[in-house]
């Protein structure tokens, strides 16, 4: 119940009104996000190489 109150308070401070019937779904999604965040923080960054390419006008490629 504490997590639901935290979620409700967090969203309401940002001006987002949440119907009570949506709290169960929000709690499950919030827990999923927290889990993914913990996995990301625990991951070795050397194991996750990311490359970015800039292609001028690349948004027009088909």
- Show Cβ contacts of residue 31 under 8 Å, excluding neighbours closer than 6 positions: 3
Of the candidates 45, 3, 40, the residue with the CA atom closest to the CA atom of residue 25: 3
pLDDT for 61: 55
pLDDT tens per residue, range 3-62: 888 988 999 999 999 898 998 999 999 999 999 999 888 777 766 677 788 877 766 655
Domain boundaries, given as residue ranges, for the chain: 2-37
At residue 58, the pLDDT reads 64
Rounded to whole angstroms, the Cα distance separating 11 from 4 reads 11
Give the C-alpha separation, 8 to 27, whole Å: 10
**pLDDT for the residue 44:** 73
pLDDT at 62: 59
Tell me, what's the pLDDT at 17?
A: 92
pLDDT at 47: 67
């Amino acid at each position: 119940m504490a997590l639901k109150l935290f979620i409700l308070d967090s969203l309401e401070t940002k001006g987002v009104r949440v119907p009570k019937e949506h709290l169960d779904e929000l709690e499950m999604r919030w827990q999923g996000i927290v889990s993914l965040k913990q996995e990301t923080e625990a991951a070795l960054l050397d194991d996750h190489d990311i490359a970015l390419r800039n292609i001028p006008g690349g948004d027009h490629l088909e």
